[in-house]
Structure 1
Amino acid sequence: MGKPRSGTVGRRFTILYATVFLLSGVGLLALTYLLSGSSTTSVAPVPLPPGGGSGPDAARHILDLERQLADVHAQQSRQLLFGSLIALVVMAAVSLLLGRALAGRVLRPLRLITAATRRISAENLHRRLAVAGPADEVKELADTIDGLLTRLETSFAAQRRFVANASHELRTPLATIRASLDVAVAKPEPAAQTVALAHRLRTELDRLESLLDGFLDLARARHGVLPDQAPVSLGALAREALTDPATVAAITAKGLTVEEGVGPDAWTRGSAALLSRMVRNLLDNAVVHNEQGGWMRILTEEYGAGEAGSGNGGGEAGARLVVETGGRVLDQDQVDRLTEPFERLRADRTGSEESSGLGLSIVAAIVAAHGGGLELRARPEGGLRVTAALPSAAGSKAREGVAP
């Protein structure tokens, strides 16, 4: 999750505890020094020299005693000051260690709660923190998080039921309308207007079904529903999509030049159906929004851990699919918004019959559901470069699986 920031609560607690200990030590040492300075030193009586206690000799003797007493007192003060400074330095070091230990102990329950919360995702919302202990602020926080997870689990379950039900309920009237059109056209000698209207309605029904499929795929991906996870080769998916008759026909109609860099590797793990939809959406986007007589480049490859520009923040090793097109120079700010539903680069394409405006948003949701990253870059010389980076599947496990 990255290195902790310098301004963490633990560091602030350490500094706070160390400061309190240090100030307490300074106060104690200052009080000791003041008390020692104000105390009086008693000296045993010294016999006077022969001849009595008067005269010049007695006065000199008294002055010598006073100087000796002052020297002793000054030496004691210096020793006390030096010892106090050493004690202060030692106490400063000890206070830092004690402050760190106390801060760690105080924050340990919060670290455990944070780690447990991070391990909970849309796939295991049934898990709970279930923190045991006295009814203090930490347990209250954990119980609050458990309550939030319960509400999230209920909400996710309701949304998934809605997606499953919508798939059936919305397709039924569409199938009924299509059957009615077929019946009307199948009548003996149908009117020309009826045939033309049926053709137009079939076209709109096809668009509506495509839009419905897009909504359902987007909902499944955003809810993290990944059925039948298995090793999947992005290269195999790309070759399958490139040889699809509909894709070949669309590329031929636009006169596009296709540059392939599709290899047999680039293995990841996930839902073959959703990953296939991701690849097809990227290719469809490259074809539909390309120039007449333009070009497109498709590349699949594996990359190592920490590789720059991998599309996933340079983390673990993974598989990458790159789809690149030429064209006019694009605004990067507009490109960054293309993963939002119904977002397009130009206003005159809002009503385009070739695009539903959901393609890249579905791609972004599928990539995110698989723990990857999607990067859209406007090429300086014109066109768009889309990079989908996904976590790598283990080599042995991937080759034991069945390629799509």
Structure 2
Amino acid sequence: MGMLRDGTVGRRFTIMYAAGFLGSGLVLLVLTYVMSGVRVSAPASANAPAPSSSGSSDLAAAHQQVRVLQGQLAEVHARQEHRLVVASLLALVVTAGLSLLLGRLLAGRVLRPLRLITAATRRITAENLHERLAVTGPADEVKELADTVDGLLERLEASFAAQRRFVGNASHELRTPLATIRASLDVAVAKPEPAAQTLALAGRVRTELDRVDRLLDGFLLLARAQHGAFADRTLVSLGGLARAALGDRAAGIASKGLAVDTEVRPAAWTRGSAVLLSRMVQNVVDNAIAHNEERGWIRVATDSDGSGARLVVETGGQVLDQSRVDRLGQPFERLGVARTGSEGSSGLGLSIVAAIVSAHGGSLVLLARPEGGLRVAVTLPSAAPENEAVRTGVRA
């Protein structure tokens, strides 16, 4: 049984039970002491017949002996009363200790179902809303509370599922009018000798359409990652995905004059959706490039040990506020104009990373480096390849 914290219901129950036990013991001791104090009084010497002046010395000696015996009896009674008082005090102290112990045991027994409900509720998050407390037992207040929590979880699960379906369906439905607009622009530009204003307008509209396309792609990927059900789970090398992402973005890295330091180990294997994990690594690398300073640096490292397979991407730059960095895993969270990068940024990059990591049972740590810049660390459950021929995500 865990320690009862100050101010908890368990502490109050312990005090209540202990007070009840201690009060009962105190009443019992008082009654015992009162009943033990009833005794037969010794006959008074005044009632004895007065010896005659001619009484013998034996009678006087007998009276003297009686008085001595009465004194000894009184002394014995006094010692007995003293021992009874001492024993009563010791019994009271022992009763107080036992009362606290019994009170704590009973409080723990009474609150044990509530602790189980609390622990089970804490384990349930947005990714496993399908789990239920499913408390069994008599139909008492505790089971009623558990059933109420299960009903709330059921409603939350339905709400989350409806939200994800809406995002996915809306993203799919919006692609049709966007494709129509893009086709109309192509037709207008393809006409003989289009006006300069038409060409300028078409260019601006295409730029905005590209942004909307990226935003819809982000919504779809975020909805899929949050759903967490992948039919394409396979062995994936984080090292291979990191090398592929850096190679595909070599032009963007060169255009900003970024220095790249890599420590990529191919042993960083994990199991999951190759498509989503590839997008996760790409988003982390894109974030490091887009939100970096000119002629800055990027450090990319992957490794694996008993704690899992890790991907770490660090960048330099200005000193950031950790409280604001902690919110970058939420959709559309940015660190101001200095770190929003290009206008094409959707603000979903790291939120998609967070959703993919969570869906794969991993952890994401965003740390503002004391020297300036950002450190992104992804840890996923490691998996050993069955044979060296399995190389998903590795580029030669």
TM-score (norm 1): 0.81
CA contact (8 A) 1:268 1:398 kept: no
Q: Quote the Cα distance in structure 2 between the aligned partners of 1:215 and 1:166.
A: 9
Pair 1:5–1:26, CA change in 2 (3 A): closer
Which of 174, 185, 188 is the matching residue for 1:184?
188
- 1:234 corresponds to 2:238: yes
- 1:81 corresponds to 2:81: no
1:303-360 Cα offsets, whole Å, 9 max, x none, are: 44xxxxxxxxxxxx22222111112333334433433433333346669414222222
Residue range with higher mean Cα deviation, 116-125 or 192-201 = 116-125
- 1:367 corresponds to 2:371: no
Q: Once superposed, what is the RMSD of the aligned Cα atoms?
A: 3.5
Which of 346, 350, 358 is the matching residue for 1:356?
346
The equivalent of 1:291 in structure 2 is 293
CA contact (8 A) 2:22 2:99 kept: yes
Q: 5 Å matches for 1:172-251?
A: 172-222=176-226, 224=228, 228-244=232-248, 247-251=249-253
The equivalent of 1:64 in structure 2 is 68
Identity of aligned residues (%): 67
User: Match of 2:198, SS?
Assistant: helix
The equivalent of 2:278 in structure 1 is 276
1:45-93 Cα offsets, whole Å, 9 max, x none, are: 9999x95799864663343233212221122223323433443454345
Gaps of 5+ in 1: 305-316
Which of 357, 369, 376 is the matching residue for 1:379?
369
Q: Quote the Cα distance in structure 2 between the aligned partners of 1:226 and 1:121.
A: 19
Pair 1:130–1:346, CA change in 2 (3 A): closer
Pair 1:349–1:279, CA change in 2 (3 A): closer
Q: 5 Å matches for 1:137-148?
A: 137-148=141-152
CA contact (8 A) 2:235 2:390 kept: yes
The equivalent of 2:23 in structure 1 is 23
Give the partner amino acid of 1:6.
Answer: R
- Count of residue pairs brought into register by the alignment: 386
Give the partner amino acid of 1:296.
Answer: I
The equivalent of 1:307 in structure 2 is none
Tell me how far 1:160 sits from its aligned partner. 2.5
Residue range with higher mean Cα deviation, 346-355 or 23-32 = 346-355
Pair 1:399–1:53, CA change in 2 (3 A): farther
The equivalent of 2:310 in structure 1 is 320
Q: Quote the Cα distance in structure 1 between the aligned partners of 2:377 and 2:67.
A: 94
The equivalent of 1:311 in structure 2 is none
Q: Quote the Cα distance in structure 2 between the aligned partners of 1:324 and 1:215.
A: 26
Tell me how far 1:186 sits from its aligned partner. 3.1
Q: Quote the Cα distance in structure 2 between the aligned partners of 1:127 and 1:328.
A: 43
The equivalent of 1:166 in structure 2 is 170
- 1:395 corresponds to 2:384: yes
Tell me how far 1:254 sits from its aligned partner. 0.6
Q: Quote the Cα distance in structure 2 between the aligned partners of 1:299 and 1:170.
A: 38
Give the partner amino acid of 2:35.
Answer: L
User: Match of 1:395, SS?
Assistant: coil
Pair 1:334–1:124, CA change in 2 (3 A): closer
Q: Quote the Cα distance in structure 2 between the aligned partners of 1:158 and 1:187.
A: 45
Give the partner amino acid of 1:339.
Answer: G
Give the partner amino acid of 1:144.
Answer: T
Please identify the structure whose Cα radius of gyration is greater: 2
CA contact (8 A) 2:313 2:375 kept: yes
Pair 1:224–1:292, CA change in 2 (3 A): same
Tell me how far 1:123 sits from its aligned partner. 5.3
Residue range with higher mean Cα deviation, 120-129 or 251-260 = 120-129
Pair 1:97–1:5, CA change in 2 (3 A): closer
Gaps of 5+ in 2: none
